[in-house]
A and B are shown apart, each in its own frame.
Chain A
Amino acid sequence: MFKLDPRFEKQITAAFKQSVKVVEEQAHTEVKSPKWSHPRQTKRKNGDIVSSPRDIVDSGELDRSLYSEVQGISGEVGAKADYAALVHEGYTTTGGNDVPSKPFLKTAFTEADRLGLIQQAFDDELT
């Protein structure tokens, strides 16, 4: 049976945990970035009037609700705010207005250099 060198296994595990954290950090960046298109001006609860592109910060609840956790070889990054899915996926009102998706988690996953950390662990082991 193939068995990893314990030192290398420890290194890879640490890199994986760090990569999950990097995705969460990127999710915070995505939420705060004024990059999201929206078809209309909006007056936010905090009094700001915003147009497009915009960030996704009003009360700050969504940003504060971002979390990450690692269990074994599984990692999860998510948002606990009860309206997070509506923001992430977008929705259509009964009147026919489309509110576009603002996929802050999906873009965090693609934008974060999560694989770079794991690649570095491999490179360190091989050199």
Chain B
Amino acid sequence: MSIYTDLDFLGKRNEIESALAGLLGTYTFPANNNQTVPAIAIDINNQYPVPGVTVEGLEVVIRPLSDASVSKTIGKGRDWTVETQIVFKQWDDKSTVLDAVEAVVNYVDLGVSFDIGARIVPSEKIGNIESQTITYVERIGYRVVG
């Protein structure tokens, strides 16, 4: 199964949620009778979670990067690609993001390339939670120039 062959972000969200069964934390919406949902979201403008929402455990934020990028290849070619970030945040200081990152990487079709960013560990000095970002690179075209 390939979950990264198109730009269907809602489909990606649902498949990532399936891959992370049992690992995801929760969002709680106080303004909506404390409704609780799995802590996974598509965030277009770095605005999630919205103010007032509380997060517990593992949160996963999917960030489509807006611009296609063009990179040179040997042979005077150009690769056209789009990137999607998947950010793992662990709000429980007794857990890590490691199992979740591994689960998603193992779930992805091998034909897709991805960068695994450095795991940012909690630091009392900085006051940060643990996090790690995977960037999926989808090749949408190739062109030979000149």
Contact = CB atoms under 8 A, between A and B. Distances in A.
Interface of A: 39, 83, 85-86, 88-96, 98-101, 106, 110, 113, 115-116, 118-119, 122
Given A91-B128, A100-B46, A122-B74, 4 more contacts: A85-B120, A86-B123, A92-B131, A93-B129
Interface string B101-132: 00000000000000101101001001111011
Which secondary structure characterizes the binding site on chain A?
Answer: mixed
Which secondary structure characterizes the binding site on chain B?
Answer: strand
B71 interface: yes
Interface in B48-83: 49, 55, 69, 71-76
A89 B129 contact: no
Interface residues of B, number: 23
23 contacts: A39-B46, A86-B120, A86-B126, A86-B128, A89-B118, A89-B120, A89-B131, A90-B131, A91-B128, A91-B129, A92-B89, A93-B126, A93-B128, A96-B49, A96-B55, A101-B117, A106-B115, A113-B72, A115-B73, A118-B74, A119-B75, A119-B76, A122-B74
B133 A93 contact: no
Contacts of B74: 115, 118-119, 122
